[in-house]
Structure 1
Amino acid sequence: MRQNNNQGLFLSFLFIVLIYLFTRSYYSPFFLILLALLLYLAFLKEENRLFAWVIISFFGGNLILFYFDKFIEGFDINPFLRVIINQLLFIIPILSICYVIKQFNKKISLFFKKPQLNRKIQINKTYFYIMVLLISVSIVTVIITRDVKMDFHLVLSLFLFAFIHAFLQEVMWRGILLAQFMMITSETAAILFTSVAFSLNTTIFGFSPAVFLLNLSLGCAFGVLTTKYKSILPSIIAHALVLIFFFLNGFIQLPI
């Protein structure tokens, strides 16, 4: 990980601003800033130039995702299958960013590996297992107390959605972007910046302070899990369990 630099902090803030403009549909200033970023590339250090291209490829991939999603809306598809396809389209910006990083001959992520469980982080391992246990007990409790009808189709659909969503989101935000932020800022700043961007990105269909703060907190928690274990696997598991818990409590709804 490299030391902080002013260009890196500037690009990090710029990414947050672009996320805000994009999710709020302020496309005129969004494209003006993106164009200015392209012109600014020649004045950047190599690692910062890579991050600038990561920003551009992130939004380029999301624009392609958006138009593909609109195209699919024209077909008569089962609502749940429509949701799954929508989630799978997130592969587009992921591949777009990976392509850019490989063009710079850099490692795509620091966290695409098994969790590192050594003596120094045994206490963190214990905390993680406790968290998983508490969420699992909460899920079972909700099912029992609220008399949730859980047939095989519902269980399979719920776990399929939770795994796909959690996997792709964590690959993007904690697997790829967190690692790229760490290259131009500090570990703490990288967790904060990715968490803010992650939270803003979830408000694309409408801003709610409560939802923003909730996702900000979850983003920070997932970021800490990823950096502590040097792997995105714990954050994927935690993210999926949180989604299942939210569904069973009625915080999110699926057409299943």
Structure 2
Amino acid sequence: MKNTKVNFIKIMIGIIFLLGIILISFESNNFLILLIFMVLFTLSVVYKRNSYLIISVFIFLLSFKAYALLRHLLHLHIEDIQVVVILDRLLLSIIVLCLVLTSLCFKKPIVLGLNKPNWNNRIYFPFVTHGFHSIKISTFLIIAILGNMLVFVPLIFFLNDSEQLRNLLLFGVAFSLINAFLEELIWRGSFFSILSNEVSILYALVFTSLAFGLHHIVIGIPFFAAFSFSIGGLFFALVVIKTNSIIPAVLWHFIINMCMVFGGLII
């Protein structure tokens, strides 16, 4: 009975977290956002055994709110859209820094996932962790990247000539590298580490994947499109779990972002 209650509390914290991401992303009434923070603070006092988990969620949402406010100021005061987008992505480092500082305050371990990948682990079909067929993670990644490029290439060459592609190259590399690295560092590195250590890998997998998709609402992606990004977040997370590193996910994420830039989906 006690374990059921504890599990219910942890699931409730995850749902509150997702609700907070959605409310902040939609720039909802500040009263509702404040209410989310008050509920989390109250839970951290009542359920002290889960205080690190709850405070980490609290800090994440607080830093995400700070990011949302700062990106709004960027778009108000800077006209160069490429500069704005790059600075916007750099602001994501606020979230990573806050999570790392929180772990230090609680003297808890946090894994950023920057270690050397294990490329020889295998992904199984159809259920990733088990199934009737398996391939090396390196092979899976090559197939996935080629598949993504195959989807985008016709769009890229339909929308751009060679000069336009050259003009976008520097921005594309800068944006894609910064965005892929920081988003993976947040969702599959620091925050995934906290949730998996405090609850379970499955819990971290579900809530980071959903929140990863939904947080794109803040940059203007419609709700259902942002929600669909959660599928990508799920695959990124599985790659990280299998390789024990965020580096392969950063690479995959980088290629997708480059395709999006050249496909006219970023600016």
Shorter-chain TM-score tier = 0.7 to 0.9
Give the AA of the match of 1:40.
L
Q: Shift in Å at residue 204 of structure 1?
A: 2.6
Give the AA of the match of 2:239.
L
Q: Could you list the per-position Cα deviations for residues 20-75 of structure 1 after superposition, in whole angstroms to 9, with x for gaps in the alignment?
A: 222231321221131122122123254x2112111121122223223333444454
Give the AA of the match of 1:95.
L
Corresponding residue for residue 178 of structure 1? 192
Tell which has more relative contact order, 1 or 2 (C-alpha 8 A, sep 6+): 1
- Pick aligned residue for 1:164 from 138, 161, 178: 178
Correspondences of 1:1-256 after superposition (within 5 Å): 5-24=7-26, 25-46=28-49, 48-73=50-75, 75-109=77-111, 111-118=113-120, 123-136=136-149, 142-144=155-157, 148-149=161-162, 150-204=164-218, 208-250=222-264, 252-254=265-267
Give the AA of the match of 2:185.
V
Q: Could you list the per-position Cα deviations for residues 160-199 of structure 1 after superposition, in whole angstroms to 9, with x for gaps in the alignment?
A: 1111111111111111111222123332332111111112
Q: Shift in Å at residue 87 of structure 1?
A: 1.1
- The count of residues paired between Structure 1 and Structure 2 equals 249
Secondary structure of 2:136's aligned partner:
helix
Classify 1:241/1:120 alpha carbon distance in 2 versus 1 (closer, same or farther; 3 Å). Answer: closer
Corresponding residue for residue 130 of structure 2? none
Separation in 1, partners of 2:160, 2:42: 59
Give the AA of the match of 1:30.
I
Q: Shift in Å at residue 120 of structure 1?
A: 5.4
Give the AA of the match of 2:33.
F
Instruction: Specify every segment of 5 or more residues in structure 2 that has no aligned partner in the other structure, as ranges.
Output: 1-5, 124-134
Secondary structure of 2:218's aligned partner:
coil
8 Å contact kept, 1:8–1:184: no
Q: Shift in Å at residue 229 of structure 1?
A: 0.8
Separation in 2, partners of 1:125, 1:227: 13
Separation in 2, partners of 1:132, 1:231: 18
Classify 1:34/1:224 alpha carbon distance in 2 versus 1 (closer, same or farther; 3 Å). Answer: same
Separation in 1, partners of 2:69, 2:157: 42
8 Å contact kept, 1:195–1:219: yes
Classify 1:119/1:175 alpha carbon distance in 2 versus 1 (closer, same or farther; 3 Å). Answer: closer
TM-score (norm 1): 0.85
Separation in 2, partners of 1:110, 1:78: 32
Classify 1:72/1:182 alpha carbon distance in 2 versus 1 (closer, same or farther; 3 Å). Answer: same
* CA RMSD of superposed structures (Å): 2.6
Instruction: Specify every segment of 5 or more residues in structure 1 that has no aligned partner in the other structure, as ranges.
Output: none
Give the AA of the match of 2:236.
F
| Structure with greater proportional strand content | 2
